[in-house]
């Protein structure tokens, strides 16, 4: 066991989570259910919140890494909303089927398949990164393992962004918790982010879904 309750970097229980998402894609295909989201409309809402990370740069072209991109539904949202023309989009996912679908739909996009926690392959450098849905389900993983997984992924990605990073989790401010969902304690998250990454963060808990989105910024936002 690592210091402060984090698991060692040799723990790979997150692969069970990856296997769950692969099975959902095989069962339901390239739609919201195939990525384990129940409603398309809710997906568009959370995508809009993710895009809010770089809303202040609307007059500029920005590079964005979509980590855990699945079949690039976030890029589809960017195209539909007219934002794709000012975004240099890249995707990374651990699932080969999802990446193959992404490249069939958007062959000009940079989309790669590999496990960032077991590979030393460089991730590149980006203005922003978004992590949508990777930390909302825990399945058979414990909360401790999910917290460790979250920290390890952020530790790998945060140095690769120049301006900011967003990720979402299920809210812990609910009166019902679906079995297998990961509800992150906001107090723990605030302490962890401040100690390990930055005190310049925003928690979005205002968009009507039973989740929250964190924006982590590099430097103060003016």
Please tell me the pTM assigned to this model.
0.91
For residues 205 and 171, the answer to whether their CB atoms sit within 8 Å is yes
User: Which residue in the block uniquely carries the two structure tokens 């975004």?
Assistant: 87
Q: Which DSSP helix (H) or strand (E) runs through 40?
A: helix 40-51
What are the beta bridge partners of residue 131? Answer: 67, 167
Mapped onto helix, strand or coil, the DSSP state of residue 98 is: helix
Beta-sheet strands, E only, within the chain: 62-67, 87-93, 110-113, 126-131, 161-171, 183-184, 201-204, 211-217
| Residues near 117 by beta carbon (within 8 Å), at least 6 away in sequence | 9, 12, 14, 152, 153, 156
**Gap between the Cα atoms of 138 and 146, Å rounded:** 6
**Higher-pLDDT residue of 14, 154:** 154
**Gap between the Cα atoms of 190 and 105, Å rounded:** 38
2 pLDDT above the threshold of 50? no
6 pLDDT above the threshold of 60? no
**Gap between the Cα atoms of 31 and 34, Å rounded:** 5
Mind spelling out the 3-state secondary structure of 143-201? HHHHHHHHHHHHHHHHHHEEEEEEEEEEECCCCCCCCCECEECHHHHHHHHHHHCCCCE
**Gap between the Cα atoms of 12 and 113, Å rounded:** 17
Average pLDDT over residues 170-187: 85
Tokens (6 digits) for 219: 């430097």
Average pLDDT over residues 2-11: 55
Nearest 5°: phi and psi at 192? -65, -45
- Note the pLDDT tens digit of each residue in 105-162: 999 999 999 999 999 889 999 999 999 999 999 988 899 999 999 999 999 999 999 9
- Note the pLDDT tens digit of each residue in 179-218: 888 999 999 999 999 999 999 999 999 999 999 999 999 9
């Amino acid at each position: 066991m690592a210091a402060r309750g984090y698991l060692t970097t040799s723990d790979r229980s997150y692969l069970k989570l990856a296997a769950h998402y692969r099975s959902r894609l095989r069962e339901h295909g390239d739609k919201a259910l195939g990525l384990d989201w129940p409603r398309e409309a809710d997906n568009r809402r959370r995508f809009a919140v993710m895009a809010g990370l770089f809303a202040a740069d609307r007059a500029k072209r920005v590079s964005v890494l979509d980590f855990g991109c699945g079949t690039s539904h976030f890029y589809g949202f960017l195209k539909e909303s007219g934002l794709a023309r000012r975004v240099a989009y890249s995707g990374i996912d651990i699932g080969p089927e999802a990446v193959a679908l992404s490249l069939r739909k958007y062959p000009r996009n940079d989309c790669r398949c590999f496990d960032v926690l077991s590979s030393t392959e460089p991730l590149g450098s980006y203005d922003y990164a978004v992590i949508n849905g990777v930390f909302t389900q825990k399945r058979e993983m414990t909360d401790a393992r999910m917290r460790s997984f979250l920290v390890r992924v952020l530790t790998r990605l945060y140095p690769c962004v120049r301006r900011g990073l967003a990720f979402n989790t299920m809210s812990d401010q609910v009166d019902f918790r679906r079995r297998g969902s990961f509800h992150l304690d906001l107090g723990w998250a605030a302490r962890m982010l401040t100690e390990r990454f930055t005190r310049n963060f925003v928690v979005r808990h205002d968009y009507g879904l039973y989740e929250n989105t964190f924006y982590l910024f590099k430097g103060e936002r003016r």
